[in-house]
Amino acid sequence: MLKQLHVENFAIVRETEIFPGPGLTIMTGETGTGKSIIIDALGLVLGDRANLSMIRKGADMAVVEAVFVPPVLQDDLKEILTTNDLPIDDTEWIFRREIHRNGKSRAFFNDHYVSLQILRELADALVEMHGQHEHQKILNSNSHIDYLDAYAKNPELIRDYTHALMDLKEAVRHEENLKKNQDQFLKEQELKSFHYQELKKVNLHPGELDELENELKILENSQELVDTAHRIADTLYESDDSVISLLSSLKHDLEHLLRIDSTPGEYLKELESAIISLEETGRSMAEYRDHIPHDPARLEDIRDRVNVLNFLTQKYRKTYNELYTYYEQLQSELSGDQDFSAELRKARDRTETARNALIETGERLHQKRLETARVFTEAVESRLHRLGMEHAHFRVRFSFQEGTSPLSVSWHEKTVLPQARGFDLLEFEIITNPGEDFRPLTQTASGGEASRIMLGIKSVLADADSIPTLIFDEADAGVSGRIARIVGKQIEELSRYHQVICITHLPQIASLGERHVVVEKEVSQGRTETRIRDLQNEDRVQEIAKLLGAGKITAAALENARDLLNKSHQTPKEL
């Protein structure tokens, strides 16, 4: 949602700003006051092309800044932000454009300098402008499929198709690589086979090297282990003057002492416990000493085996565990048919399976769109008739791109190139006058017609459309009376789901807004300036009366204005 638009030194605007708020904001003003300048300024900050004529005479730089409530971040927006090192958790999105007199134009997003392309990609998620403007998506046929899919609520089908297309691309890439690298594949297989045979002869076992090195350490130091264990056992337990013998003598003395004085009796238990513990340690060390292996033949075998294993780890530049994992991997890879033609057959089968899955998913998506298009067409035509285009006929034309490539599919007896969002290419076509043939909407709609067509489409989409802010310029072109009121009601209905800013000259529409601003010209110090003023209460009555009286405010016009405003806030919304 647009929170604030600040314009400075742009065309005849010295400095002004607008705070639209949620719901429907109406913008009015006499012809030539600068309503289009405000829209051009907003278009500039959203990524339109800049030129020096936009800078106010006498100023060095024009500045336009727009502050938005951030949209819900879908994956595509997150990717844009993260790829360009832009913040993703800011509470406001601030767009800023500067046009300098020296011809330079700069764009900023939250005080980060960005390219115009990045600015446009981010802005496209925030605003749609309908009128004579670059941001009018309805005049871009590539966006028509988005409108239909939004109405059909197709995200799961599109996701399935996207995954199927990715699977086919991966399968084709693998198959093409096999074909291109047949010699390399065979060389790799030969090398893998050599490695496997070499490792197989050694008969590797998991964790073997650690176990052998531990055993080798014991065998190489067996005499030292025996000597040390013997000294411990002899000192603690086995010799005549062992620690146990000394402690036993001390125990005898303590028992004699206790017969005279029982006070230190608790120390006897501690001494007995120490004797028992040390006796156990002495026996254990003696048993350990007697079982230390001493096998010269085994020692040489282990040395030879460890040398072989260490040589292999150095040769393959792997740890022993990595080497064993590599051996198991080779065993698994080489256990099947290693003929290259068999590998190629498997790759072709995989590609064909992926192609069939894509065809099945693409057909389901196509049928859902055909079904949706019938309902969508009827709904849009009905809205257009109510919006004063009683002779309008609308349709969705389906086509597809024929061509041969590794990704092509055979579909409906044609060789079709899959697109990113299905096999379908869609374009909206319309008849606006009796006796004409259907023509692409992008070639036939004038500014006012395009705005009303877009209004009809948006009214049908209602809450399915995710763009938060809609701006209608010239939506009321060529209508008046009852039709103008219907156009206004459609716009008012849209404001339940979107923030809507509507530029109008019709009182029937202007009276429906929750907010109303007027664009005015004034002369200050001999210079013409455009400014925006919020209208409240009687000021708004005056502005509506001015629209009713074609610029002249009469008592009757004032009364009619009050009546219009009262009815706008009392009557239920018409669909």
pLDDT number for residue 134: 52
The residue behind tokens 């698994």 is 332
- Region of 58 please: left (phi>0), alpha (psi -120 to 50) or beta: left
pLDDT number for residue 575: 39
Question: Distance (Å, rounded) from C-alpha 424 to C-alpha 153?
Answer: 16
pLDDT number for residue 574: 43
Beta-bridge mates of residue 101? none
Retrieve residue 529's tokens.
């300036």
- Alpha helix (H) residue ranges in 291-339: 296-316, 320-333
Question: Could you please report the per-residue DSSP string of 13-74?
Answer: EEEEEE---SSEEEEE--TTSSHHHHHHHHHHHTT----GGGBPTT-SEEEEEEEEPPPP--
Burial 259-274 (b: 16+ CB within 10 A, else e): eeeeeeeeeeeeeeee
Which residues touch 7 (CB under 8 Å, ≥6 apart)? 13, 15, 16, 17, 38, 41, 63, 64
Question: Distance (Å, rounded) from C-alpha 471 to C-alpha 138?
Answer: 13
Neighbours of 521 (CB within 10 A): 14
- State pTM to two decimals: 0.63
pLDDT number for residue 281: 92
Retrieve residue 438's tokens.
């259907």
User: What tens-digit pLDDT sequence spans the chain (575 residues)?
Assistant: 999 999 999 998 999 999 998 999 999 888 777 788 888 899 999 988 888 989 998 899 999 999 999 988 877 888 899 999 998 888 899 999 999 999 899 999 999 999 999 999 999 889 988 765 555 667 778 889 988 998 888 889 999 999 999 999 999 999 988 888 777 777 888 898 899 999 999 989 999 999 998 988 888 888 899 899 999 999 998 888 889 989 998 989 888 888 888 888 888 889 999 999 999 998 999 998 888 888 889 889 889 999 999 999 999 999 999 999 999 988 887 875 556 778 888 999 999 999 999 999 999 999 999 999 999 999 999 988 888 888 889 999 999 999 999 999 999 999 999 999 999 999 999 998 888 889 888 776 566 677 778 888 888 887 677 789 998 886 777 677 777 888 888 888 888 889 999 998 888 889 899 999 999 888 877 788 888 999 988 899 999 898 887 667 888 888 888 888 887 665 444 43
CB 19 within 8 A of CB 501: no
Question: Distance (Å, rounded) from C-alpha 557 to C-alpha 33?
Answer: 22
- Contacts of 306-315 with CB under 8 Å at 24 or more apart are 306/209, 306/212, 306/213, 306/216, 308/202, 309/202, 309/204, 309/208, 309/209, 309/212, 310/209, 312/198, 312/199, 312/202, 313/209
β-pairing, 112-114 vs 105-109, is: antiparallel
| H/E stretch holding 6 | strand 2-10
Neighbours of 213 (CB within 10 A): 14
Say which amino acid occupies 370: L
Q: Which of 123, 132, 39 is nearest to 451 (CA)?
A: 132
Beta-bridge mates of residue 108? 96, 113
pLDDT number for residue 215: 85
Question: Distance (Å, rounded) from C-alpha 513 to C-alpha 547?
Answer: 15
Neighbours of 19 (CB within 10 A): 15
pLDDT number for residue 573: 45
Q: How far is CA 213 from the centre of its chain?
A: 52
Retrieve residue 51's tokens.
């030129």
